[in-house]
Amino acid sequence: MKFDKPQTLKEIAQIINTKYIGSDDFPVYGINEIHVVEKGDIVFVDHPKYYDKALNSAATIILINKKVACPEGKALLISDDPFRDFNKLTLHFNAFKPSNTTISTTAKIGEGTIIQPNVFIGNDVIIGKNCIIHSNVSIYDGNILGDNVTIHSGTVLGADAFYYKNREEGYDKLISGGNIIIKNNVDIGANCTIDRGVSGSTTIGEGTKIDNLVQIGHDTIIGKKCLIASQVGIAGCVVVEDQVTIWGQVGVRSDITIGEKAIILGQTGVTKSVVGGKVYTGNPINEARQHLKELATLKRLTKK
């Protein structure tokens, strides 16, 4: 999530009331999670297991709960609770804006696009040309749709990420400040749910087709010309490369990659990253041919 205008390290520290290591005027351009950070971004880390990953990431400002040596060319924000303070920054720079109309006056809708009755379109949404948005679709704030996109009834674009920190008093929600980007010529079926990024963008690539009842988690990137069948659930921070086919009732765990032109057969549990150009099945996932050989061997053994 990029800020509307650059901030300084001192200004950020004042917003969240923290100490810092670095020059007062050290530039800050946005906040992001570790997997999408860029130069000028703040990333937060609150567990020693991930200190090195955050300190060595592309981020140049690290919001951290321990005073450590500051890497060259970077700055630190020292916080007793980085999770809480990351939320404060999200709320400060991208606070929720209630709507008082079904289609926001700040939404931009392209020529030839058809909006059916009972559609909700939030603030600052951009919809391209020649789209069809069927009834009872909800498109939350800040989402971007390309040209020739079709979205069927009951689909929700932009719900919050399913991302919580377990505290003694209950689960603390990481506030979502990202959006969804849907490229040209995408079809999305009925009653699908696509969550917005925590700080970046959940992205659906050009020409991809998504069946009914599909869930796609926050910050996931779906490539071009993918086919995703009904009742697939994809967790957050997944990369699905171009021309992947995922058949019905597949479950995909977070933070993995499915390689280009892979085919995932129905009811597979995608428990790890897999290379492209192969067919997979089973839970845990395995190449389909190997899985069938193992089943055949097991069948022979049980007959003895």
**Active-site residues: which are they?**
218
CA distance 97 to 100: 10
Long-range contacts at 43-50 (CB < 8 A, ≥ 24 apart): 44/82, 44/83, 44/85, 44/86, 45/82, 46/81, 46/82, 46/83
**Which two structure tokens, joined as six digits, stand for 92?**
């400060």
| Secondary structure element (H or E) that encloses residue 89, with its range | helix 82-93
**Full strand arrangement of the beta sheet holding 2-8:** 2-8, 27-31, 41-45, 61-64, 75-78, 19-21
Would you call the peptide bond into 82 cis, given omega within 30 degrees of 0 as the criterion? no
In angstroms, what CA-CA distances link 190 with 213, 216, 221, 266, 276?
6, 14, 20, 20, 28
The answer to whether the beta carbons of residues 1 and 32 sit under 8 Å apart is yes
Give the integer Cα–Cα distance in Å for 194 and 202: 8
Phi and psi, residue 44, nearest 5°: -105, 150
CA 156 – CA 143 distance, rounded (Å):
11
Q: Which amino acid is at 94?
A: N
